[in-house]
Every structure is written in C-alpha cells, then in structure tokens.
Amino acid sequence: MFKASKTCVAAVMLAVSGGVAAEDHVIEGVVTQWRPMITFAQPGDGLTFKNMTGHDTETIEGMIPEGAEGWKAKLGEEGFHVNLEKEGVYIFKCNPHITTGMVGVVVVGDARPPQNLEQVHANLDNVKIGKNMVNRALKKLQQALDAEGQ
C-alpha cells in the first residue's frame, strides 16, 4: 500500500512539473569568444556565465523575443545567471569584445524556425557596433538549424 502511494505521488509530481527539470547551460568567456557560441534551451532553463574576467554579457536591443527581458552583467561578474522564459532567439554580446566576434546566440524552444528569427534579421541594420560579427553569428545559427534538418 505504501509503495503504491509513493508511486502515485511521484506520478503526480512528474505530471505537474511537465516531466522535465529545468537545465542550467554554462557559457564561458574564452579569450574573445563565447563557448558554446550557440546554445539550444527550453523555456525555464537558465544560463550561467563563467570565466568572466575581462568580460560582460548583454542582450542586443531588438534581438530577443518580444516581451522577453534582456540582461546586462557587470564586467567580470562571475557566475552571472539568467532564466529564459520566452521562446525564440536571443542574441547577446560582450561589450569590450563584440568587434572581435564575442557574440552568442540562445535558441529557446522547439519552434523551427524560431518565432522571432525574421525580426532579429530585420533589426540587424540597427546594430551600430559589431554588425558584421552579429551577422556572422546569425549565419552560424542558420548553419546549426540546417544541420538539424530545419
């Protein structure tokens, strides 16, 4: 009887939680790159930024899902953490190193293409510093999506 009750409680907990625990994705600043450059995540997942000496991280205006909150870490803020709730593409940068290619991409959710990808491309002309590097990151994103068969 007790064993059946524990099984029932576990089944209810699994159903209520959606069956999947949120994942924490680690992104590291390595010289003038984010590793990984492209991260695939699910709503509710988090990002933790490591190896941040000499780096910050900030989303690029107009390059996150509508209604999503952007983020901005201080220079050297080790372990900076954000939670991702809205589905879509998030483009982020390291301000001191954007012109040397320190641009990253997070895709949240399973929609392919991601729901705000066209909006992100349309806003590329609004990027004043590091536009070529943001464009390069978008091309690498497209390659990753193509490799998925999307």
Tens-place pLDDT, residues 76-133? 999 999 999 999 999 999 999 999 999 999 999 999 999 999 999 999 999 999 999 9
The H or E element containing residue 46 is strand 46-50
Q: In Å, how far from its chain's centre is CA 72?
A: 13
Tens-place pLDDT, residues 26-62? 999 999 999 999 999 999 999 999 999 999 999 999 9
Half-sphere exposure of 54 (CA within 13 A, CB side): 10
Between the CA atoms of 86, 89, 95 and 101, what dihedral angle is there, to the nearest 10 degrees? 160
Q: Which residues have CB under 8 Å from 68's CB, separation 6+?
A: 85, 86, 88, 90
Is the pLDDT at 11 greater than 50? The verdict is: no
Tell which wins on pLDDT, 4 or 148: 148
CATH architecture of structural domain 22-147: Sandwich (2.60)
pLDDT at 4: 47
Per the prediction, the chain carries an average pLDDT of 90
d(CA 97, CA 99): 6
pLDDT at 51: 98
The H or E element containing residue 105 is strand 103-108
pLDDT at 8: 41
